Amino acid sequence: MAEVIIEVKNAVKTYGEGEALTYALRKVSMEVYEHEFLVILGGSGSGKSTLLNMIGGMDRLNEGEIFVNGQDITKFNNSQLTLYRRNDVGFVYQFFNLLNEVTVLQNVMLAPGSRDKKKAMKLLRSVQLNGKENKFPRQLSGGQQQRVAIARALNKPSNILLCDEPTGALDDASGKAVLKLLEELHGQGKTIVLVTHTKEIAQMADRIITMKNARVVSTVVNEHKVSAEEVEW
Ligand SMILES: Nc1ncnc2c1ncn2[C@@H]1O[C@H](COP(=O)(O)OP(=O)(O)O)[C@@H](O)[C@H]1O
Ligand SMILES: [Mg+2]
């Protein structure tokens, strides 16, 4: 049995206060196993991004704990959390979040500890972007920009990739290329947590956690796993 590498326990997260108080997570508990492909599925506003952001150390919970590699990240101080985000989790966003003022190669080498040029070039080759390293993000298609973002997320010691609607801003063909890349990375041993509102994409997962109204409403082993090639949405 695979090891649990991420464990979320009774996570509560609210935004705003008074009239504007919103519960984004209401006592959410879940876990992620090492090397699995996990999908978090749910409609808009169900709390998926909030859950992923909390696992990624982007913000803090009101209540609850999140263990990653055995350490409770909710106990981290701000500098520990910065190091955690830099080293321990790769994050891929719907809208890429690249720096537009610097080249593709520089985007992949931005973080301290990721400045090995040979490694960055190798990662760019692995996402089929050889020859693009000196381009700027705006000179690339959306699908290519997302692959830069994936190369950046891979340029750290972590084996965990957190992906928030990574195909959400892409046309079907580019989206499929991104899913194939994630499938390949999973095959190489990465742990993938993918957030989506698209049921068809969820069929790529080993397990599917469904969220609704800030809660996890089901967790199932996916008996009908399909390849990225077969996914249609
Ligand atoms: N920064 C924020 N400020 C205020 N409300 C937020 C913020 N982020 C998310 N929310 C609210 O929290 C709930 C869950 O949002 P989110 O996690 O983004 O859901 P999903 O990713 O499933 O669409 C929604 O009601 C949303 O409006
Ligand atoms: Mg979201």
What average pLDDT is seen over the chain?
97
C-alpha pair distances (Å), 55 with each of 29, 87, 130, 190: 12, 13, 32, 16
Nearest ligand atom owner, CA of 165: 2
CA-nearest of 151, 206, 147, 156 to 179 is: 147
- pLDDT band at residue 2, thresholds of 50, 70 and 90? confident
Residue 1 has pLDDT above 70, yes or no: no
Distance CA 132, CA 160 (A): 25
Helix axes 142-154, 172-187, angle to 10 degrees: 20
Q: For residue 146, what pLDDT is reported? A: 97
The mean pLDDT value for 123-131 works out to 96
Residue 167 has pLDDT above 80, yes or no: yes
Q: Which pLDDT tens digit goes with each residue over 9-57?
A: 999 999 999 999 999 999 999 999 999 999 999 999 999 999 999 999 9
Q: Which pLDDT tens digit goes with each residue over 42-95?
A: 999 999 999 999 999 999 999 999 999 999 999 999 999 999 999 999 999 999
CA-nearest of 124, 204, 129, 132 to 163 is: 204
The CA 47 to ligand 1 mean position distance, Å, reads: 6
CA-nearest of 148, 205, 135 to 174 is: 148
How do beta strands 160-164 and 191-196 pair? parallel
Determine if ligand 1 sits within 6 Å of the CB of residue 213: no
The CA 165 to ligand 2 mean position distance, Å, reads: 7
pTM (predicted TM-score): 0.97
**Other beta carbons less than 10 A from residue 151's beta carbon:** 26
Give, using CA atoms, the residue closest to atom 6 of ligand 1. Answer: 15
The CA 205 to ligand 1 mean position distance, Å, reads: 24
Q: Which pLDDT tens digit goes with each residue over 196-205?
A: 999 999 999 9
